[in-house]
Amino acid sequence: MNLKGFAYASIALLAFQGCSASSQTAPKIGVYGLSSQRISGAESVRAPGVSGFAQVSVLVTVDVDGNVVDAKVVDDRFKGDASAALAAAKEWKFRPQSFDGKPIQALGEITIEFDPPEFSPDASVPFPTAAPGDIEITLERSACFGTCPDYRVTITDDGKVRFSTRTMNFPGTAAEVHRMFNGENVLWAGTHDAEVSPQAVAVLIERFRDAHFMGMKPEYFAGVTDNPTYALTLRVGKTTKRVVDYVGKEAGMPAGVTALENAVDQLAGTDRWVRGNAQTIALLKAQGFDFKSRDAAQLVRSAIQLNNWPPNQAGANELIQAAIANGLDFSTSVNIGVRGRSKETATIGSVIASYAAETGNEALFEDMSRAGQVARMSKKSLDSALLSGMGCSARIAKALVEAGANPKAVGENGNALHALRSSYGRCAYAGSAKRVEMAAALVALGVPLEAKDNIGWTPLMGCDDPAVTRILLNAGANPNAKDGDGTTVVLSVDDDRVVLTLLRAGADPKAKDRDGTLRQQARKRHWPGTLNWLDEHGIQ
């Protein structure tokens, strides 16, 4: 017998048994927001007979290696066939989870969305031909009940680009009303011409051919309101094809249409007019624009207003830096109040400093601090920035307090510590390590632990990050704080690990509010760790 081979086989068997044992012995604990720990796996499925916008909640059990070992539907509102969603959920891969420094089996809800099957384009429709210079691609995007940009851009096969906000897109529809009341939401309105490579246009035209654009339906329309309308038009000689997209994904529109829309934007470079970026400044410079003028300051202010959310900020940051490099006058006053309602003004330098603070842009904030612009921020702006979450930057938090921000400031949504518990915003996406650093910094700066927000909750209430919870508890936060309705801290959170942390810190396990006892809520919210703790302590 080959003893060496036997030894290897024994080691492999023991390793396998060890892995199995670790999963079997690891405790099951609920993890709120488990979807954020997804590494791979489809978040949506296409299923016949299921309308767009349908979704189903699936409760998954994840082993210590991040694999889904069990999945079941927990959404009693969903009445359709969930088999495709369950199959997709079982293929998800997660980051391994832990609690108290030890591996756990994580239990949590995820959402699988249903997309209707795509209507395949008619591939038999021939792609037309035309003489050079007789091909035109036009993309129209409309306003919505919000801040959707309203514009039209046309690219010709010889590389000519024309961007315009002067033409009313989709007249006689809701888009016209949205534009009337919400505006164009474009940084640099008007008509602008540019040029791109004819070779790049030829590549784009081939993408239309490959997508069988001529065989698409003329309209993909979902039965919802207040969304933007898009239209993509291809004219080849005397043949014109127009496809209207109104939330088309939910009406079976092929994904290729959206890809073509985005490709037109990218080739035309519409961001330089719509949102603003370094190219915007380059175009203005070529036209002899005066960057020391009030118009320049207002341009920067408008870019900040249009790009106040992370996905859009890269271009705004480019524009700001380029404007500064071209001589932007920091002392120029700009309007900062609501148009038509307030005449409040501030210097553009202090506005940029506030923007940098609120978005957590440490490099820009330090530049503005060295330029003396943080010192020019008003007391109101300093406090507002401190309450914004500051992009989860502890460095900026400390600098704001040093500049005069009041660590005890309280707004409608609470104080600076309340911003850490939000399920959306910059701190929500920054990761636990950044939130912990931020919490420790805010506590050290003297931000009150027991201040209440507009619903009567302290910063500890509603906090679903176990590590931040420990920081607050160690600093003296009351684990038995309650609001006016009698809801205590353990009944205000959604994470099993947080509840266990609170119980160990002295939170009342017999707490009860109008939604029931802790045990009742633990069953409803899938907290096996809390249920085990209550069993061990004989609490019903």
Residue 182: band (very low, low, confident or very high) from pLDDT cuts 50, 70, 90:
low
Residue 312: per-residue pLDDT: 66
Cβ–Cβ under 8 Å, residues 414 and 481: no
Q: What are phi and psi of 235, to 5 degrees?
A: -115, 120
Note whether 139 and 208 are within 8 A (CB).
no
Residue 297 phi/psi, 5-degree rounding, is -65, -40
Q: How far apart are CA 334 and CA 196, in angstroms?
A: 35
What confidence tens digit (pLDDT) does each residue in 337-379 have?
A: 766 667 889 999 999 999 999 999 999 999 999 999 999 999 9
Which among 111, 57, 66 is positioned nearest to 92, based on CA atoms?
66
Give 114-127 pLDDT, tens digit per residue.
988 899 999 999 99
Domain assignments of the chain as residue spans, ordered by start: 3-115, 135-274, 275-373, 378-448, 455-540
Tens of pLDDT, residue by residue over 433-444, are 999 999 999 999
**Does position 250 have pLDDT exceeding 60, yes or no?**
yes
Q: Which of 167, 185, 195 is nearest to 268 (CA)?
A: 195
Q: Residues near 482 by Cβ (< 8 Å), separated by ≥ 6?
A: 488, 489
Whole-angstrom distance, CA of residue 401 vs CA of residue 434 = 19
Nearest to 421 by CA among 378, 383, 466, 370: 466
Q: Over 80: is that where the pLDDT of 175 sits?
A: no
Q: Does position 493 have pLDDT exceeding 90, yes or no?
A: yes
Q: Is residue 477 within 8 Å of residue 415, measured between CB atoms?
A: no
Residue 91 has pLDDT above 70, yes or no: yes
**Minimum mean pLDDT among 10-14, 107-111, 272-276: which range?**
10-14
pLDDT of 492 above 80: yes
Q: Is 19 a residue whose pLDDT tops 80?
A: no
What is the CATH T-level fold of the domain 455-540, as seen in this structure?
A: 1.25.40
Percentage above 70 pLDDT, the chain: 91
* Res. 16: pLDDT tops 60: no
Structure tokens belonging to residue 280: 């915007």
- Tell me the per-residue pLDDT of 210-219, one tens digit each, with 9 for 90 and over: 999 999 999 9
> What's the mean pLDDT in 86-109?
97
d(CA 278, CA 314): 10
**What average pLDDT does range 247-252 have in this prediction?**
93
| Predicted confidence band of residue 23 (pLDDT cuts 50, 70, 90) | low
Most confident among 146-150, 236-240, 301-305, 307-311 (mean pLDDT): 236-240
For the segment 146-159, the average pLDDT, to the nearest whole number, is 95
- Asked if residue 127 lies in contact with residue 214, where contact means CB atoms within 8 angstroms, the answer is yes
Closest CA to 360 of 303, 429, 421: 429
Residue 452: pLDDT band by 50, 70, 90 thresholds?
A: very high
The pTM is what?
Answer: 0.88
- CATH architecture assigned to 135-274: 2-Layer Sandwich (3.30)
Facing residues of 292 across strands? none
106, 370, 495, 507, 532 from 528: Cα distances, Å: 10, 52, 11, 18, 6
The mean of the pLDDT values for the chain is 91
Q: What is the pLDDT of residue 343?
A: 80
380-421 pLDDT per residue, tens: 999 999 999 999 999 999 999 999 999 999 998 999 999 988
Any bridge partners for residue 234, and if so which? 137, 241
Maximum alpha-carbon separation in the chain: 92
For residue 305, pLDDT over 60 is answered with yes
Three-state SS for 400-427 is HHHHCCCCCCCECCECCCHHHHCCCCHH
Position 21 confidence tier, pLDDT thresholds 50, 70, 90: very low
